[in-house]
A = this chain, B = another copy of it.
Amino acid sequence: MRYRDFFVKTLRESPKGEESRNAQLLIRAGMVDKTMAGVYNYLPLGLAVIRKIEAIVREEMLKAGAAELLMPALHPKRIWEENGRWEILGDIMYQFKDNSGSDVGLGTTHEEVIVDMARKRVKSWRDLPLALFQIQTKFRNEQRPKSGVLRGREFIMKDLYSFHATLDDLNDYYDKMKAVYLRIYERLQVPVKIVEASGGTFTTEFSHEFQVLTEIGEDTIFYCPKCDFAQNNEIAKVEEGQACPNDCGGKIMKANGIEVGNIFRFFDKYGTEMKLTYTDKDSRVMPVLLCSYGIGITRLFGTLAELNHDEQGLKLPTVVAPFQVVVVSLPDKLEAAAAIYEELKAKGVAVIIDDRPDISLGEKIIDADLIGWPYKIIVGNNHSTTDSLEVVTRATGETAIMTLTKFVSGL
């Protein structure tokens, strides 16, 4: 790929009116553009990162036996009224009247829509368990969005819904999904802590959040560094510095977390309130049990930017980088650079070339570091053949001279 074909356009100056660090980094790297506060336009570089995050999440969902569907953003008030959530979510849900005079809302979550669909099709114990997910755009009527792509008015989520006949089956799948979530974050190199949170008004059981413990997060978490005790401030009855309630000998610490996922057991709430029922083996009509499981895709994108950068710009993990290698050169070495680029491409390397004429090597390096390609190949006067590549690793800053064959074998 060539820079001009992929619309690689960095900005040297910090964008005006953008206070969040992740959005500043992503805008300067040419990954996103800001359309309005809390609403971002994902440029080819940024979309490539998002697609890689989505691919990992999708792969793990399919592996866990879930099928993918795609639900709408426009929701009728009718279904949200059945359990009173139209009013409860009124502050954060965009709600308005359409041209026919009906009330509609933009989905912040999809329990109501999926239950409305499932109650037309799930009839018998044979239809359960069932797991369905989507990767879809959601909306939140934030008054003053200020956290960049971490908390937008419009954002991409993966949401999974599981339907069960028995409590045991529900709890088994819930625990299985905890493990799936941990694997997803591990693959994305995002360190998370499982945090207990409120289960809502209808149950004394906890829900669970997956929190990245960093100072820029919006949530307050109390946790023990020695064991797995971790609760958010809504439910925690501990204080910073006190002994861990698990008696593990650790002392409670406090942190501002980024919530990159949450999982929730609704039990029979929806089955009862929205009449999603099934007939069991003894012909009794029973409420279907429901769980839901969210992962913020664009929030993960912003989290990766917050976790992986330095003064020069982004250094996203290799697993989500849009391309692995960039070739940059002196202006009069463009042909030599193109030959190296072609050979890397022929060997199946995900490589991009900065093909801009009349741009100095220094400027190309500054731009490459803003974007954070994992490897830079620098084509100067001394190292401009496949026998002698100058390779700089973005993560460590280390420079090495090697043959192209050796470089490719080490990728």
Contact = CB atoms under 8 A, between A and B. Distances in A.
Interface stretch (A17-25, A38-46, A382-390): A38-46
Given A35-B113, A143-B100, A69 B42 contact: yes
Interface residues of A, number: 60
A36 B104 contact: yes
Nearest to A356: B126
Given A65-B5, A142-B99, A117 B76 contact: no
A50 B70 contact: yes
A60 interface: no
18 contacts: A7-B132, A9-B121, A33-B117, A35-B74, A36-B74, A37-B100, A39-B76, A40-B72, A41-B70, A41-B72, A42-B71, A43-B69, A44-B68, A98-B141, A98-B153, A99-B141, A99-B143, A126-B356
A139 interface: yes
Interface in A102-121: 102, 104, 106, 113, 116-117, 120-121
A71 B35 contact: yes
A73 interface: yes
B7 A39 contact: no
A144 interface: yes
Contacts of A104: 36
Contacts of A154: 72-74
A280 to B, nearest CB: 16
A75 interface: yes
Given A41-B69, A67-B44, A113-B41, A144 B100 contact: yes
Given A11-B120, A73-B137, A74-B154, 8 more contacts: A5-B67, A33-B117, A33-B120, A35-B71, A35-B117, A44-B67, A47-B70, A74-B139
B75 A35 contact: yes
A94 interface: yes
A42 B67 contact: no
- Prevailing SS type, chain A contact patch: mixed
B100 A94 contact: no
A85 to B, nearest CB: 16
A325 B144 CA distance: 52
B96 A96 contact: yes
A197 B126 CA distance: 54
Contact of A7 (B113, B126, B130): B130
A91 interface: yes
Interface in A1-29: 4-7, 9, 11
A267 to B, nearest CB: 22
A79 B41 CA distance: 14
A47 B117 CA distance: 15
Nearest to A136: B137
Contacts of A96: 94, 96
A113 B139 CA distance: 18
Contacts of A11: 120-121
A96 B67 CA distance: 35
A11 B132 CA distance: 19
Given A5-B67, A143-B99, A72 B117 contact: no
Nearest to A62: B5
